[in-house]
Amino acid sequence: MDVFVQAENRSLTSVDSFSPESIRKKIHLLKQKIGETPLIHIDNVNGSSIYAKLEYYNPLSHSVKDRPAVYMLEGAIKQGLVTSENAKFVEASSGNLGIAYGRAGKFLGLKTLIVIPSVSAGKTYRRIRETGATVEKTPDGYCPLRNERDGAIAKVKDMYLDDPNKIWLDQYSNQDNLRAHMEGTGPEIWNQIDGKVTNIVLGVGTGGSLVGITSYLKVENPDVESVAVQPQRNHHIQGLRNFQESLEPAILRKNRNLIDDWIEVSDEESFEALKYLWREGYLVGTSSGLNYVAARRIAKKNKGATIVTLFPDTCLNSFKLIQEHILNGSLDKK
């Protein structure tokens, strides 16, 4: 268990005998522990204020992925998909969702199997396995016509179709992914900032966070601008996607009308921003650096705006990458 896991979270490791009613009660307990993360003022740029929601305060994976993981499992129970102890939830994940799934599954008494891309770091494999989940890596080239990150999705589709005991909830299309942010993250932001948000700026992986939050905020104020941020091609930002080289998730594809603008951020910009955030005391991961760069760009274009982004996770899952590119200075300007 990593150093960010607080003592209170030890209660999340107990497992009782299988019972749908017991699972429902435990899901209720999990939902009480997840969310209500702090919204912190990070910077002033061009007369605009930049705020970040610190999602590493979530207890399972110390990331924003705790929210959809628990909501999707809850949805499966409500739909009656879990009918026996032999059921096993499978999911494709590059890290945080797999950790959240594994820890939630252990607490709920559900079996989980996480398929990770071939490009995932060894530490990601170990951290997911330590939750009690089964972990498999996809072979290189499993999805040869697209990016290696899509190989895990292709592998899960094959496993799901071939085995009736495996339940694939598919975070890339699951409406409970959106519901987690429409019912949780979006209202939290609106209330924490007294409805003064003008721009929501977020990196996109499944698209669940951005689309779900935007869906809520635009109901409250249709003038809120939603900005999707993607990394460069051949990037090193864990959990995010460049859709010129990777498949576009159904959640994003079906809700593109909610997005007002797109920004692309380079690895170098993201890592430089991460250095700054670390110096400011935020030990966050690479996607936080990307989000911060994008938020600053929007601030420079919109004087007097109130911009909200997320710091999705800690540095733990991407520490090897950070060590290579930041601590060793390989991207420092000469």
Question: Within 10 A of 88 (CB to CB), how many other CB atoms are there?
Answer: 19
Nearest residue to 119 (alpha-carbon basis) of 143, 102, 99: 143
153-177 pLDDT, tens per residue?
888 888 777 788 899 999 999 999 9
**The residue count for the chain:** 334
Number of domains in the chain: 2
CA gap 136, 170 in Å, rounded: 16
What are 143's two structure tokens? 């999805």
71-130 pLDDT, tens per residue?
999 999 999 988 888 889 999 888 899 999 999 999 999 999 999 887 676 778 889 999
Among residues 107, 141, 168, the one where a domain terminates is 168
CA gap 240, 149 in Å, rounded: 10
Strand partners, 43: 50
CA gap 57, 313 in Å, rounded: 8
Task: Answer yes or no: is 1 within a domain.
Answer: no
pLDDT at residue 137, as a whole number: 85
**Judgement on whether residues 146 and 288 belong to the same structural domain of the protein:** no
CATH number, domain with residue 37:
3.40.50.1100
**Judgement on whether residues 193 and 130 belong to the same structural domain of the protein:** no
Do 99 and 131 form a contact (C-beta atoms < 8 A)?
A: yes
Instruction: Name, in order, each residue with C-beta under 8 angstroms of 62's C-beta and a sequence gap of 6 or more.
Output: 2, 4, 5, 56, 313, 314, 316
272-296 pLDDT, tens per residue?
999 899 999 999 989 999 999 999 9
Query: Is the predicted pLDDT of residue 319 greater than 70, yes or no?
Result: no
Query: Is the predicted pLDDT of residue 9 greater than 80, yes or no?
Result: no
pLDDT at residue 148, as a whole number: 55
**Judgement on whether residues 99 and 152 belong to the same structural domain of the protein:** yes
**Judgement on whether residues 51 and 190 belong to the same structural domain of the protein:** yes
Task: Answer yes or no: is 190 within a domain.
Answer: yes
pLDDT at residue 4, as a whole number: 38
200-232 pLDDT, tens per residue?
999 999 999 999 999 999 999 999 999 999 999
Task: Answer yes or no: is 164 within a domain.
Answer: yes
Task: Answer yes or no: is 150 within a domain.
Answer: yes
Greater confidence, 13 or 95? Answer: 95
- Mutual angle of helices 96-108 and 20-33, in 10-degree steps: 130
Q: Tell the residue number behind the tokens 């072979």, with chain if given.
A: 139
**Judgement on whether residues 319 and 236 belong to the same structural domain of the protein:** yes
Do 153 and 92 form a contact (C-beta atoms < 8 A)?
A: yes
pLDDT at residue 142, as a whole number: 54
Please, what is the average pLDDT of the chain? 86
CA gap 294, 182 in Å, rounded: 22
59-85 pLDDT, tens per residue?
999 999 999 999 999 999 999 988 888
CA gap 150, 146 in Å, rounded: 7
CA gap 69, 64 in Å, rounded: 9
Domain that holds residue 158: 67-168
Query: Is the predicted pLDDT of residue 259 greater than 90, yes or no?
Result: yes
